[in-house]
């Protein structure tokens, strides 16, 4: 099992699996609030919990690392599925509109690399948690 996990950690940690984004810091704060809400109010699987916590840390550190209106976020493509799920939870809530914009933008990357992202989505939940914890 460790060999399989190590392979996927290596595979999904390569530079080609990362997306560099510039996101408005206010939008990041709103997305962080959505992440807080889903983590505290909804049932989520282990891999979703891990992904949402990692995304929250990523967005918060990116937002706090800049004095600019926009923060640079370097996100792994494995998180696209979780952003989409987060958007689906809050699609009817107007206060989370930045989530819709981010989701729509990321869908371009998902279509571009659908084979590899599908492979990740179909992994065992424990393997996904280990991979997400290390990317």
For residue 14, is pLDDT > 70?
A: no
d(CA 127, CA 78): 13
Q: What is the DSSP string of the chain?
A: -HHHHHHHHHHHHSGGGEEEEEEEHHHHHHHHHHHHHHHHHS---HHHHHHHHHHHHHHHHHHHT-SSSEEEEEEEGGGHHHHHHHHHHTTT-GGGHHHHHHHHHHHHHHHHTHHHHHHHHTS-HHHHHHHHHT-
Average pLDDT of the residues in 102-115: 82
Average pLDDT of the residues in 28-36: 96
For residue 85, is pLDDT > 60?
A: yes
Q: What is the CA radius of gyration of the chain?
A: 14
pTM over 0.85, yes/no: no
The mean predicted confidence, pLDDT, of the chain is 84
CB 128 within 8 A of CB 47: yes
What pLDDT band is residue 69 in, cutting at 50, 70 and 90?
Answer: very high
CB 79 within 8 A of CB 133: no
d(CA 35, CA 127): 22
Among 51-55, 68-72, 84-88, 121-125, whose mean pLDDT is lowest? 121-125
Give the distance, in angstroms, between the CA of residue 60 and the centroid of all CA atoms in the same chain: 13
Summarize pLDDT for 15-26 with one digit per residue, the tens.
667 889 999 999
Average pLDDT of the residues in 27-42: 95
For residue 66, is pLDDT > 90?
A: yes
């Amino acid at each position: 099992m460790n060999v399989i996990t190590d392979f996927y950690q290596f595979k999904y940690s390569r530079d080609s699996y990362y997306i560099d984004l510039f996101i408005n810091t206010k939008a990041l704060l709103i997305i962080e609030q959505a992440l807080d809400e889903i983590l505290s109010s909804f049932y989520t699987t282990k891999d979703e919990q891990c992904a949402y916590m990692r995304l929250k840390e990523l967005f918060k550190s990116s937002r706090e690392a800049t004095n600019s209106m926009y923060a640079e976020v370097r996100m792994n493509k494995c998180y696209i599925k979780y952003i989409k799920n987060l958007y689906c939870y809050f699609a009817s809530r107007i206060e989370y509109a930045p989530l819709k914009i981010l989701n729509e933008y990321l869908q371009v990357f998902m279509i571009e690399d659908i084979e590899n992202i599908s492979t990740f989505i179909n992994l065992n939940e424990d393997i996904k948690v280990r991979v997400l914890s290390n990317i």
